[in-house]
Structures are given as C-alpha cells and as structure tokens.
Structure 1
C-alpha cells in the first residue's frame, strides 16, 4: 500500500487490486461512510456515455437477501435504510466523484454479509460503448465524521469487451468491516448482473 503524493486534502491509502484492508480494525467508531466513484469517458463519440453505480447487498450465499436489496438509480435507498444512493449522474463530466453512496454500517441488516459496488454502462451494447473508452476510474471510501478519505482504489484495467465493472466490496469479517478492491470487468449488462446476484427482475 502506498500513500499517494500531491493533491489537496486527506488522501487515503492507495490499494492495489485484491489488496483487502480492514476499515474498522483501527477505527472502532467508524459508522457513516461515503463511497465515492468517479471516471472519465471518451468525448469524441456521437452518443454520450451514461455510467451508473449499483449496490448489491448479499447474504452468506453471495446472493441478494431479497429482490429489494439492490440499490440503483431507480431505487435509491435499501430496505434497512443503511445504503443511500446520490442519484444518477448522466455525464461524468468534471472533477471529483461522479456518483456517491452513503452507508451507515451499524444499520446494515445482520443478514447482509457483503455490499458489492458495480459500475455499468447504460445501454452499452446498443450504443457501442465499453470500458475500453473509460479512463481514470476509481472508488474511494470516506469517513463522514471526519471527512477523511480512508482508502482509494484506482482501476488500471480497461478492456473493450467489458461493459460492467465490479469495482469493490465492503464485507463483514470477524466482527470487522473490510474492503476488497475487486476491479473485475464483465460482459454482463445490468440485467446479467441481477441474474448473477439473484435479483428477480420483473
């Protein structure tokens, strides 16, 4: 883990893919966090990109504990009120986070073992869009009580056959909350991810 240089404000520990880290081991009082995600997209295409963030709240079997336990732009709050989505950003222009998720760890249902954060490209196949045209994507976690960034993961792998990215996971482990920077791309669209994680789509 390296500490990034430069920039203003508190910059969290920079993680590499698969480098799991505890969020609560040295911060027992950590409760309200912000998960910020950002990216840049190619601007020379005729159809603007619309990237979206989704959160799948999984049980011990790596499936959602119910169809409602899937937070996205059309359902901004989880049933237990622990996960709140900032809403859809349709352009990705500008500096900083493009979309954010607030999580109150103490309110997460005991049935939920893992929060999976995914970025999908809306209508990617029809529009000919993919992650080969995305750059500077990242996920970061901020302690809202101090506004201090705890960790950051900058994605480094962008492939033209990828239209969705499992960016990271926050999960329970031995009474701790840990973060796993995943960074795995897939050719599944949002519907395919819903099937993967057990969401029954009407």
Structure 2
C-alpha cells in the first residue's frame, strides 16, 4: 500500500517532471536521426546529379569525399565506396570497370535510404543535352589551342622553331602528373604533324 500511496501523493510531481524530460530527449533523438538522414539524402542526390559528368566537377569530388563521414555507421556503403575509389586509380586492374563500381556504390546507397525500386539501369540512365557536350568540346579545343600557342611562342609576337617547341613539350611531359602527361603527349603528336 505504501507504493500506491506514494504514487498518489507524488504522481503528479513525477508526471510534471519526467514526462517533459522524456519527450525532450525523444525529440532530440528524432531530430538527430532526421539530420543524419537529410545529410545522407542530400549527399545521394548530389552524387546522382553529377554521376555522369566529368570528374572535374568540384561538387562531385566533395560529395565523394563526404561518404565516409555521412555513412560512417553503414559498412556496406563504405565498402562500396572503397571499391569504387580503388577502381578510379588508372593503375588498378578494375580501372576499365569503374562505372560498374560506381553503379554498385550508388545502388547500395539507394537501398540504405529506402529506394528499393531504384535499379542500376535507372541509376545509369542520365540526360545530357547535346549543347553541354558541344560546350565541353569547345572548351577543350580552346584550352589545347591556347596551350599550343603559348608553347610555340617566346612572347606575343615571336614564334619558336619546332625543335624548341618539342623540347618544351618534353619537359612538361616529364614533369607533370600521368594524366596530364598523356594529354600533353597527344597534343605533341597532333601539333608536331601540323608544325
């Protein structure tokens, strides 16, 4: 009887104190879960938006670098990201299949967010207007022409001979990153034919 009497006497006080504190703690946990889910969803949507663009988009690179943090408690996503990351290395045996690893990673992320009906074929399908491709090709052409013109001159008005031009290109090829040196080698082959 003492316990029931205790609750009769102090039940109101306990209810007034404990219930609001419990609700407050529950709402904080709910908000934290929502914040984490929104961060995951935002990251997934950014990855989806830039998935077929060239790797030079900063948003794409930033989103990839956030995967380990945003999905820190999801080992499947982190393993899929690690596999995709390894496939991005040009020396990797999986370099040619990087897109397959990307699709796997995106599928794992989609499943973790509850997108059960989103298939890899859906993820692989993307709309890129012809205008975007034309703009990119034009920018690439302008950049290579700008580089070629700068390498072929000593200033604004004087040009150099083919031997000095080839020496400059060889120096740049030797002292640049592998990807850049491949581009410079291609430029050398094309421009030496034109010289």
Same fold (TM over 0.5): no
What is the TM-score with the length of structure 1 in the denominator? 0.20
Q: Which has the higher contact order (CA 8 A, sep 6+)?
A: 1
Structure 1 or 2: more strand by fraction: 1
What is the TM-score with the length of structure 2 in the denominator? 0.21
